[in-house]
Structure 1
């Protein structure tokens, strides 16, 4: 059943723009738009099925106690504090993805937010250049197509994701980590400010930093606290972590905390030996959790391994083809343009068994099935 959402915004052009964006991003919402207070009051008086009311502070205050008939009320304000805590507040004049992110956050908090449906998938390799970021982004896109709500977190010490997402706010992760330690009460509002949305990939994310300092200084304890924060939001079904290929303690702890680990390998003798050595180094910690590891052959030419397989278990069942054109890619949409690669990633996602059959995910998939967008909005 569609969720009844009412927008109460006096500025017609802004109301139409926001309504169009929400219809594209939340295909299961039945959205009504009201630009006059009298029309809003009539709607609230006559319709007992308003699940979510999003409106300008002055229009909501004018409607008064009628707003209580809506299941959830969110006030669009010029600055925080305009409605004295009566309703959740979201700053109105900011990028539309940020507004949607705030709406989703508020709805999750209203429902109590369960962590049971949120799973962490780490895309890892023992050596660089294997294609972790490309696989992670394709995995996220496939998950979005299946109705999963995703968050992408790049944890590489040196990354080039600004080529795909733009410069953005390069201090985002540093600020979140600092708030987590020094001002935890401010963390949620800070994330709402820094979180961005990439519509082609259908994922939320925060900008990766330009400098490697916080990655190099990251501790296992801080990594665990960060992941728990995201899990406890009740906002995502799947968090995809894209770390570098280090062998530090926080890398090992990340693998411990992950529900699934996609361990990428290439058909390269040196790379395979590095994976073998790293697994042996971590053996005492990983041996009992080896079942969560899925070895995946990436950049395959031909379809199978030439080199000898000495890693635990069988040789990789999932093989991702080499796409030479991607060496010059600088836009995320082009990383999604290979049917052969997308099909192989779809098989990988099915094998991971990440929440694809939960009732809420099935509903979102059914509501969004066949929805094709005629245009793409930029990140942020």
Structure 2
């Protein structure tokens, strides 16, 4: 189970003399940030909760006694693992038997292992081939998404990775860093031509060479497309078309990493980035409005696509940008955990040379840490897949 999301547990046991010691143990231990336990001592209350629960509130594991689980008639179709507490009686038909009066540390360990196995099982269904797709997202504009994406591109390129930077903003702000013409002197046919070719009848070749469409940008150590001047091509792009574009690049076999930058507004292209990316960097600012908008966007996602939100959170790193050394505002939702911080660079406020945006040693150091954490997480996930 990813450390981004605490394991959600429903505990259903008759008698508070069992529930309270377990809750007290968890709250006073290192498991306090890893477990969220909702406890029931009345079977009917448990039944009602399980009938109504979905989305982000849907539990990862249910731990309970037979009288409770017997009321949960949809348990076999719910795809939620059950640990059945017993004192020696036969209970295997309800789920995995667990002795009720185990040491609390052992019981918590079994719960976490059950959640981990469930998470790994989901990943094995969604195993992938091709380059790693990193999506850059934010709930509002002006948070430094493009600056972070291009510095990440440069850092990964310097470390020997083959990188493609894909900008899907309606107004491509990356041209501030790269200019609008090819520094290599080779004019790519561009994104417009690639979109046309992908729509052509009978074109099912996902291994096409991208060389004729893109240009090399040495300043960011990556290939990219020339900015699209007919913005209607972007505003008319559907979610499926954007996902096809992203996956075509990632599955071309020519890139280790594809970094995707998009508008902050939740539209078709932004949705494609959320769905197609293997990892997401969600940028935040330590101010009230940024946190509020982030919470509102998460609320919209939970309402419109609750199952998709859970999968998205599992691959998201929440990162505060322009970090001043201490956090003043709280993250807007309790399932969020801050996974990184990019420093505030005062000199950028009065900068006249755009290349300085890609050469701050302090900023590059934190970008390097973020990149290595992402790649380490990816390596760990692939190792898990190999052994599952």
TM range (shorter): 0.5 to 0.7
Gaps of at least 5 residues in structure 2 are 1-127, 182-186, 381-388
Deviation per residue, 1:335-358 (Å, 9 max, x gap)? 222111111111111221269879
Q: Secondary structure at the match of 1:124?
A: strand
Q: Secondary structure at the match of 1:348?
A: helix
Structure 1 residue 173: Cα displacement:
1.8
- 1:128 has 2:147 as partner: no
Match in the other structure for 2:340: 318
Structure 1 residue 288: Cα displacement:
3.0
Match in the other structure for 2:313: 290
Deviation per residue, 1:356-380 (Å, 9 max, x gap)? 879xxxxxxxxxxxxxxxxxxxxxx
Match in the other structure for 1:273: 292
Q: Secondary structure at the match of 1:224?
A: helix
Q: Is the Cα–Cα contact under 8 Å of residues 295 and 316 in structure 1 kept in the other structure?
A: yes
Match in the other structure for 1:246: 265
CA distance in 1: counterparts of 2:224 and 2:376, whole angstroms:
19
Deviation per residue, 1:116-154 (Å, 9 max, x gap)? 351100111010000001000111111112221100001
Match in the other structure for 2:122: none
Where in structure 1 do 4 or more consecutive aligned residues deviate above 3 Å? 183-191, 312-315, 327-333, 354-358
Length-normalised TM-score, structure 2: 0.57
From the superposition, tell whether residues 340 and 213 of structure 1 become closer, same or farther in structure 2 (CA, over 3 Å). same
Q: Is the Cα–Cα contact under 8 Å of residues 118 and 239 in structure 1 kept in the other structure?
A: yes
Q: Is the Cα–Cα contact under 8 Å of residues 177 and 357 in structure 2 kept in the other structure?
A: no
Q: 2:281 aligns with which of 262, 279, 284?
A: 262
From the superposition, tell whether residues 170 and 298 of structure 1 become closer, same or farther in structure 2 (CA, over 3 Å). farther
Q: Is the Cα–Cα contact under 8 Å of residues 188 and 211 in structure 2 kept in the other structure?
A: no
CA distance in 2: counterparts of 1:250 and 1:314, whole angstroms:
24
From the superposition, tell whether residues 160 and 329 of structure 1 become closer, same or farther in structure 2 (CA, over 3 Å). farther
Q: CA RMSD in A?
A: 2.8
CA distance in 2: counterparts of 1:251 and 1:324, whole angstroms:
30
Q: Secondary structure at the match of 1:116?
A: coil
Structure 1 residue 210: Cα displacement:
3.0
Gaps of at least 5 residues in structure 1 are 1-114, 359-380
From the superposition, tell whether residues 212 and 221 of structure 1 become closer, same or farther in structure 2 (CA, over 3 Å). same
Q: Is the Cα–Cα contact under 8 Å of residues 164 and 331 in structure 1 kept in the other structure?
A: no
Q: Secondary structure at the match of 1:334?
A: helix
The structure having more radius of gyration, on CA atoms, is 2
CA distance in 1: counterparts of 2:228 and 2:161, whole angstroms:
26
Deviation per residue, 1:242-275 (Å, 9 max, x gap)? 1010111332232111000000000111111111
CA distance in 1: counterparts of 2:264 and 2:346, whole angstroms:
22
CA distance in 2: counterparts of 1:245 and 1:205, whole angstroms:
20
Q: Is the Cα–Cα contact under 8 Å of residues 176 and 187 in structure 1 kept in the other structure?
A: no
